[in-house]
Chain A
């Protein structure tokens, strides 16, 4: 967990200063939200919490609801 915080601090120090100096507020918002999302995912991974996989979810939907998929 400390490594995650350290790495994200380094990333923000590299990426964000130019954006804050520039006047594109929208870009700053998008970059910050993507970094936050990445930070949440990495912290959950570091803490050992498993998230449900969207890929498996969609494929279960295709298999069980739409009845697609080859049988073994």
Chain B
């Protein structure tokens, strides 16, 4: 049974994936604080490791083109274990939306409106997101093309504007850190921005793409997002160099340093614009996915009445996640990648292996 009958086309799906990854690429501090000037190497390796995750997700999508994650779990693992898996995923989706909301609130509170209480900003933000989510998947993904284009344009433009500030010596020394640091950096970047695309398994029935083309569009969108992330990392290192570890928002500081012949200063407003737009997109998508998963697990006919209730829970949960920003940074770069690996790699892999072993597939009956 399908709850949302909205359909999204192939290119829209592609730009949704791209926009989703670009949104997390603005908060690169987690792995930059670990690998410093070698972060660009780490992000390229992480990009290819993200491809392995993508292979698992698209294999599941191809096997069950008309089922979403909760239904796949029920079908493959049976009603009891499937429900446990689905509950873990719901926890993951809720936590992810709350974490992103917290990042957004921290940024606005720190950089733009320091005197406004954070709860006011977050509640108003969630109100807009709830509006989008109530309208369904088509509305949530409709502006992905516009947002991706704006963000890519700003990223490319700032790359040229920053040209005067770039110092290639900032990349040296290369490979001068202990090996474990590179492993840790790769682990962080492959789980925190890239592996989060597991949420797209929830909207498989809404995608109108022939089964054998899903992988192509998924990888294309992933590549757009990944390449803009690598560009951002390269730009930030080239401009800031070794002091990059001092900042929570490296891109913000990079743009702050740019000047065009004394007339165009204060470029960081561009960063604020794309951060808030992309965050709006990512949070409303995650919010939609959590609401959909909750209504699916209780087998309801409509998800619309759950939207506001879940929204209030996410807002309050985002205040409750970590006790301070320092704890957030420390846990985020040391332990969270391991936790995310459970939801992004282990659970989908178990599902795929069990589905293969039981020879379950829904691709013949539906299409």
Contact = CB atoms under 8 A, between A and B. Distances in A.
Contact of B339 (A8, A38, A62): A62
B316 interface: yes
Interface stretch (B9-17, B272-280, B297-305): B297-305
Contact of A45 (B319, B330, B331): B319
Interface string B286-325: 0000000011001111100110111011001101111100
B246 interface: no
B219 to A, nearest CB: 29
A18 B334 contact: no
A62 B338 CA distance: 8
Nearest to A31: B305
Contacts of A30: 295, 298, 300, 306
A55 interface: yes
A58 B341 CA distance: 13
Contacts of A55: 95, 321-322
A30 B299 CA distance: 10
Chain A interface, DSSP helix/strand/loop, else mixed? helix
Interface string B323-353: 1000100110111101100000000000000
A11 interface: yes
Given A27-B301, A59-B339, A53 B310 contact: no
A32 to B, nearest CB: 9
A2 interface: no
A51 B335 CA distance: 21
A18 B305 contact: yes
B165 interface: no
Interface string A10-53: 01001100110000101100110011011101100100001101
A5 interface: no
A17 to B, nearest CB: 11
Interface string B69-112: 00000000000000000000001000100000000000000000
B184 interface: yes
A41 B301 contact: no
A27 B302 contact: yes
Contacts of A24: 300-301
Given A53-B323, A62-B339, A70 B334 contact: yes
B264 interface: no
24 contacts: A11-B308, A15-B305, A19-B305, A24-B300, A26-B299, A31-B309, A34-B309, A38-B309, A38-B310, A38-B316, A41-B317, A45-B316, A54-B91, A54-B95, A55-B95, A56-B322, A56-B323, A58-B339, A59-B336, A62-B335, A68-B338, A69-B335, A70-B184, A70-B335
Interface of A: 8, 11, 14-15, 18-19, 24, 26-27, 30-31, 34-35, 37-39, 41-42, 45, 50-51, 53-56, 58-59, 62-63, 68-72
Given A34-B306, A41-B316, A42-B316, 20 more contacts: A11-B309, A14-B308, A26-B298, A27-B300, A27-B302, A27-B305, A30-B295, A30-B300, A34-B309, A34-B310, A35-B309, A38-B316, A39-B312, A53-B323, A54-B95, A55-B95, A56-B327, A56-B331, A59-B335, A62-B339
